[in-house]
Amino acid sequence: MNFKVLTACVVLLSTHIALSAQVNHKRFLVKSGHLEMKVEGISEGIRTIWFDNYGRQYRDELKVVTTTEIFGMKSVEETHTLSIVNGEEFYSVDLLSGTGTKHTYGVPAEFYQAYDQMSEEQKNQFADEIFSDLGGTKLGTTNMLGRKCDLIKVLGVTETIYKGVVLKTKVNLLGKKNTETATLFKENISVPASKFSPPQNIDWTDLNSAEGQFSDLDGEYYNDSYDDEDDSEAIPVSYPFESFKKATQNIEFNGYKKAMAMSMDGQHITTYMKSMNENFMIVASSIENIQSQDYGDELARYQHFKHNGNDMYLGNATGGDEEDFDGVALIIKYPSKDMVVSIVSSNAFGKSELLKIADQLKF
pLDDT tens-digit profile, the chain (363 residues): 444 444 444 444 444 444 444 444 457 889 999 999 999 999 999 999 999 998 889 999 999 999 888 778 889 999 999 999 998 889 999 999 999 999 886 555 555 555 566 666 766 666 676 677 666 888 999 999 999 999 999 878 899 999 989 999 999 876 778 999 999 999 999 999 999 999 999 999 988 775 444 444 334 444 444 444 444 467 899 999 999 999 998 999 988 888 778 887 788 988 888 766 678 999 999 988 776 666 667 778 889 999 999 999 998 876 544 445 567 889 999 999 999 999 998 777 899 999 999 999 988
pLDDT attached to residue 172: 83
pLDDT attached to residue 310: 93
pLDDT attached to residue 216: 40
CA distance 318 to 234: 19
3-state secondary structure 343-354: EEECCCCCHHHH
CA distance 273 to 256: 5
CA distance 218 to 90: 22
* pTM, two decimal places: 0.59
CA distance 93 to 99: 6
CA distance 66 to 42: 6
Q: Which residues pair with 313 in a beta bridge?
A: 304, 331
Residue 31 near residue 53, CB atoms below 8 Å = yes
**What type of residue sits at position 219?**
G
Domains of the chain: 19-208 (2.50.20.10), 227-358 (3.40.1000)
**What type of residue sits at position 110?**
E
Give the other-Cβ count within 10 Å of 270's Cβ: 22
Residues 6+ apart with CB under 8 A from 313: 299, 302, 303, 304, 330, 331, 332
pLDDT attached to residue 20: 46
What 8-state DSSP symbol labels residue 122? H
What 8-state DSSP symbol labels residue 198? P
**What type of residue sits at position 65?**
V
Residues 6+ apart with CB under 8 A from 58: 23, 27, 49, 50, 51, 83, 84, 85, 86, 196
CA distance 346 to 2: 15
Question: Edge to edge, what strands does the sheet with 33-41 contain?
Answer: 137-144, 147-154, 157-162, 165-173, 176-187, 33-41, 43-52, 57-70, 73-86, 89-94, 99-104, 203-206
Residues 6+ apart with CB under 8 A from 355: 307, 330
pLDDT attached to residue 292: 64
